[in-house]
Every structure is written in structure tokens, then in C-alpha cells.
Structure 1
Amino acid sequence: MTATRRTRTLHGQRMSYVEACPDAVRSADGRDDAGDDPEVVVLVHGIAGSAETWTPVLQAFEATGCDRLLLAPELLGHGESAGVGGDFSLGAYANGLRDLLAVLGHRRVTVVGHSLGGGVAMQFAYQFPEMCSRLVLVASGGLGRGVSPVLRLAALPGAEWVLPVLASTGLLGLGARGLRLAASLPTTGPGAVGLREAARHAASLTERAHLDAFVDTVRSVIGPGGQRISGTDRLYLTEGLPTLVVWGDRDPVIPVGHARRAGELIPHGRLEIFEGAGHFPHCYEPERFAALLTEFCDANAPAEIDVASLGPRVASRGA
């Protein structure tokens, strides 16, 4: 079982994704064992990230086995997905996921989102409830105001001029190398996981297309005072949608308090805190995360929600 990178062209732009566990839904003669609607799990990365952030999880599934198709798409302007200009809002990212899944022929999926990807996953569930079987939020954005000062600085006026200068002078690349060096020190301990991921994210910004997408994306969701977009007022709409929240208790980017509050607001939601983990709990303990994801999916049947069923809920809140 080997992960394979694939691409599709959507609206004239390339969208890249990694596919793993294809044998889980295909029989020996190449036909889907589950008919037209196989079990699919979509893994959405965070800002300045890529499908690479899910590599440890995919490797964990490869070692232990997997009975669901795994897809790790790269959002527009990230990884190998083209993205020179465009709409980098949560709604547009959710539309891109919908379009990719439609092209691939997947009608309903479990959506797992990390950081910005968590906000995209929530937006996907809100916009396309009939396509969302389960929702998993990992150190997710969109659940409160708190966020790293570094990301707040990137939202300030002039960032679109300052960051390219830092990239062109090699300072961003130098910073990425410094993070990698720090991660390699024996004294770093468990924090090495987060430093390696941060280094990968910082290195991606040395490419102008990624840098432009980063600035536009940051400004669409973050302001100088913190996160500008919150989905907490709509978490009641997850009633009937199996929802899992995963967080590291040492997250320096988005406070773990967001997880605890979300756990209280999500009807029948489940909260899992990874002790000692930072902003990338899925990389800190990939085997545990893979086992948790499998157990969660096995224990919760796919939801069957449509737009019509949401109407009475929204109306009742406005009464």
C-alpha cells in the first residue's frame, strides 16, 4: 500500500492530491467493493502547509492497515496545486474540495482538517452538508479569537511587501534552516516535531506563489486582533454529524482552550487531547492518531444530512 500523488485540472488550474489505501475500496477486478459510494477520508492541511503534513499518518495506516480510501488534497496556492492569484477564502477552498471530490466521483466523505484546514472542513460541512459523513477538527482555526502573534503580524498592512523582501534576501530560507537545526538538537525533545513542521511551512514561503497565497489567506481569516472568522455560533448545526476534536495541550499557535470550548458546544461531540503535543498532534503521535481516526469512523455511522434538514434548526435559533 503506497501513497500516490495525483493531479486533476479544475477550472484551468492544477490541483494536486495524495491518495493512499486505494485497495481498501477496490476489489481485485478493479471495481469498488462499496459500490458507487466507498468510504473516503479527506485530510486537509493548514496554512502554508501541504499534503506532506499527513505523511506520518499515512505511514501509520500503511503499517497497520486501512479499510478506507485516504485523500490528502493540496489547497490552491499550496504544495503542488497551482495558485497564482485567485480566491483564498474559506468558502473558495471548500468549493475546491467539492469540485475535486465531484470529479473523482466521491459523493460523501469524512473530512479531517488541521489548523486552517479545520476551518475549511467546517465550511465544507456547512456549505455541502449532504457530502459530509463525519467531521474531525485537529488544532482547528475558526473556534475562537486566539492565534499566534506571528500570524497576526502577517495580517498587518505592508506584509505583502515585507515578506517578499525577506524571501528574496534569503532570510525566510535562513529561518527555515534555523528551525530544522533546532529540531535536530537532542535537547529539543518532543518539540522537535513542531519545529520540523514549522520549518517545512516556512520553506514553502520562499516560492512567490505560495507566499502570495499565504498573505491572502491570512488576511481572509486573521486580523491584528486575532482570528476574524468564527464557526462557534454554528456548531449546533453539527447535531447528527459525528464530530471529533483533537488538540495538543501545548499548542503555541491556537490555544487548547478553543478545543475545550468546542467540545462543550458540539452536540454529542468527542474531544481528545494529546498530552505534550503542540500544534501538530497528528505528527506528534501518528500511530495514535491513525488508530483514533479508525476507531471514530468505525464507531459512528456516516451522517445523512441535507440542506432542507438544516432550515428548521437555523429558524429555531432565530425565533
Structure 2
Amino acid sequence: MKSTFISSDDENIIVLLHGNSSSSKVFKDLKLNNSVLIPTLSGHEINENPDDNTDFSLSFYKQKLLSLINSYGKPILLAGNSLGGHIAMEIAHQIKELKGLIIFSAPPVKKPINFEEAFLPVEALQTFLKENSTDEEIVSAASVTVYEQKFTEQIVNDFKNSNPKVRSATAEDLFNGNWSDQHKSFINLKCPKVIVSGSNDPSVNKEYLKKVVQESSHNTSYIELENCGHYPTLELPEEMSTIINQLARDVFKPHLQ
């Protein structure tokens, strides 16, 4: 698993996790005030993996990410988009120096997965769980995910640059019940937490997200961004930079005194 580390003057690290068939490019316009670690999930970079038996399972991602993040031994603010948000909830309780969590476009699901409660049914988005798709299906799926169509090209390029087996592996984990009770983990996590959702995200039930916040322990908030779809850091990088930097100031403050 490759990663990019952008160092700053302080010892705190913001970790950014991208989603299924996406890439670190969705974070490219963020302006963050701390050191930043951006892992690239295996299978999400063109020609990164040969067409063999490479493991793209959730358990593999969790193992590699935990090893990478904990190896720094630094205070961590964990942030994840879509599948990256779900993975963040899967590993948060095992991160030794976790100080805060922010998830976007990723409803904390229960076990067994409460699809109908947490997600909205959008047929085009099934493309993100299929190993083989036509160009027309890919463009259709990408165009649904964003509010402004100028971002569609980035989504399509990332999709085509990812290994198709990533999508079938994600589908297998989903439908075989390999995800944990993320809802329980999230609401019980004892650190500041933020849930961000785009007002035009086609896949996530916003009322469910608000309910999760009400049920959650500790300091938890919900932020809905207007004129935004499934990729807030790509579509509204200035607003997301402000949100992430504010949470970072709050959770890292004790370490700066």
C-alpha cells in the first residue's frame, strides 16, 4: 500500500482515506494546517497491481492501514470519504493515538447492514460494485455522484484507473456480512466526531445521519454542505479545509500547549 506524507512543523497528523474506485486526487485542493498522511488503497492506482490474486478485501485494507498509521506514533485525526469513511470506522478504535474522527458520505451502518435505513436506492451507483461495466455505465454513475458535472471527469478517470476486482471485493464484503457494527463503534467512540454530508449526495440518507448524531456519545456534530454531492473534498475543498482544520485545532490543542 503506497502513501503520501506531507510534513509540517507540528507532530500531529491528519490521515485522509479515499473511497472505492477513487484516489488521493479527491483531496488535492485541500489546504490543511497539519502534517497529512494520504494512503492509496491497493488497487486504486493504474498499473499498481497485476491481474493476479492480490487481496482487496476490507480485512486486508484494515490490517495495512493500522500498521501504517500506528507506525508513526503521533496524535491522529482520521478522515474518510465513502468507503474510506467506512474503513475509518472499522479501524478507529484500534488507532493508538486517535484524537478525532470525521467521516463524509459514509453512514455508520449496523450489523447486519441496514441498507434501507442508511442508504438511498440509486440503480446507477451499483456500477461501483460491479467488476465489469461499460463506459456508458461508468459515466452515468459518476455523473450521479456530483452536484456540478465538471467533476465527473475526475470520478471517471479514478474509476478507470482502479482495478475492477476492487469493486467485486467490496461487494463481496458487503453482501457476506464482513463489515462490523460501525454504528455501535461510532456512537461509542470517545473522541470528537464530525459527520459531513453533501446536500445532493444521492446515496446517503441524511435523516439517518442526524439520528446517529443524536444517539452518539461524546462530542458529535453533523454538517450538511449545500450544492455538494458524494465527494465534498473534491467539490467544496475550501469548505472542507475549514471543517477539517477546525476539528484539528480542537482535538490537537492539548498537544500544542
Aligned partner (choices 231, 249, 252) of residue 298 of structure 1: 249
Q: CA 1:286–1:222 in 2, change beyond 3 Å: closer, same or farther?
A: farther
Write out aligned runs for 1:190-201 (5 A): 190-192=147-149, 195-201=152-158
Looking at CA atoms only, which structure, 1 or 2, has the larger radius of gyration? 1
Task: Say if 2:162 is the partner of 1:213.
Answer: no
Q: Which amino acid aligns with 1:131?
A: E
Q: CA deviation at 1:106?
A: 3.7
Q: Which residue of 1 aligns with 2:39?
A: 73
Distance in 1 between the 2:226 and 2:238 partners?
A: 15
Aligned equivalent of 1:88: 56
2:75/2:252 contact within 8 Å kept: no
Structure 2: gaps of 5 or more residues: none
Report the equivalent of 1:114.
Answer: 81
SS at match of 2:148: helix
Aligned residue-pair number: 243
Is the aligned partner of 1:243 residue 2:193? Answer: yes
Shift of 1:199: 1.7
Superposition pairs for residues 109-148 of structure 1, below 5 Å? Answer: 109-126=76-93, 128-143=94-109, 144-145=114-115, 146=119, 148=122
Consecutive unaligned residues of structure 1, counting only runs of 5 or more, are 1-14, 26-33, 184-188, 305-319
Does the Cα contact within 8 Å between 2:107 and 2:209 map onto a contact in 1? no
- Which of 29, 45, 61 is equivalent to 1:56? 29
Aligned pair in 2 of structure 1 residues 254, 231: CA closer, same or farther (>3 Å)?
Answer: same
Indicate the structure whose relative CO is greater, using CA pairs within 8 Å and at least 6 residues apart: 2
The alpha carbon displacement at 1:276 in A equals 1.7
Secondary structure at the aligned position of 1:300 is classed as helix
Task: Return the alpha-carbon distance in structure 2 between the equivalents of residues 276 and 154 of structure 1.
Answer: 22
1:31 equivalent in structure 2: none
CA pair 108-299 structure 1, distance change in 2 beyond 3 A: closer
Any conservation in 2 of the 1:139–1:279 contact (CA below 8 Å)? yes
Q: In 2, are the aligned partners of 1:193 and 1:284 still within 8 Å (CA)?
A: no
Shift of the 301–44 alpha-carbon distance from structure 1 to 2, 3 Å rule, reads same
- Deviation string 1:1-38 (CA, Å, 9 cap, x unpaired) is xxxxxxxxxxxxxx222233x2x23xxxxxxxx5xxx1
Kept after mapping to 2: 8 A contact 1:221/1:229: no
Q: Identity of aligned pairs, percent?
A: 17
Checking the alignment, whether the CA contact within 8 Å between 2:108 and 2:186 is kept in structure 1 is no
* Partner secondary structure for residue 77 of structure 1: coil
Name 1:260's counterpart in structure 2: 210
Distance 1:229 1:141 in 2: 13
Structure 1 residue 76 displacement after superposition: 1.6
